[in-house]
Structure 1
């Protein structure tokens, strides 16, 4: 007896590609943060870096190594800066002194494009900063 084969109509099967992970191959290259140098609203003061790991500003501890490090004098320039996302951003404190006492404001410090200047913002939520391509 002869084996007969039944005709089967060809069917094209396709799958939808659904990515499982997001990978930015070149999306973060040359990306910059935009932030306003506004700490203190124009009053002159001093900037200290958070260097001892204890929350809050410490400057008068008799154990000098426990003090936060003085960085520089500061006056907000009011400019919106574009800083590379790969630049170093430091936690710090902006301090103004008056006859009524000192006012301490937590800030994020950016040292400028050549790491030789002081720019501060009171906006501590870097995720909320505007970003752009440079």
Structure 2
């Protein structure tokens, strides 16, 4: 016996994609934070491990890391996420520890340059992030 194949006419089927939910996967739901780099000059430190609040007053157990010499640029910077902000301080009396009145909020961002990149640091003396200017992106 021979195996014969039967011709089957091709059928085109299509479905419409209907999303059932919305999920914001980047930034803080489209909010752009604007902050001014206005902390006093000195040696800038930041705490890489969060204590749960970004308010310039670190209550955790980690050590501060030195970022280097800092001078305010007095420019209003913008970012789409709070993930780049850290508690920190500007060590004005050069004792390598945070003293009362030295707390700042540090913004770290990666800057590309001619010979590679580096971490750049900006700091604000305005410790109330809720009072910062915001804009919908």
- Give the shorter-chain TM-score range: 0.5 to 0.7
Q: Distance in 2 between matches of 1:110 and 1:37?
A: 9
Aligned residues: 96
Runs of 4 or more off by more than 4 Å in structure 1?
none
Conserved? CA contact 2:48–2:86, under 8 Å: no
Q: Distance in 2 between matches of 1:113 and 1:132?
A: 22
SS state at 2:130 partner: helix
SS state at 1:38 partner: coil
**Residue matched to 1:82:** 78
SS state at 2:103 partner: strand
In structure 2, the gaps of 5 or more residues are 1-21, 52-56, 112-117
**Residue matched to 1:30:** 30
TM-score when normalising by structure 1 = 0.56
**Residue matched to 1:17:** none
TM-score when normalising by structure 2 = 0.55
Structure with higher Rg: it is 1
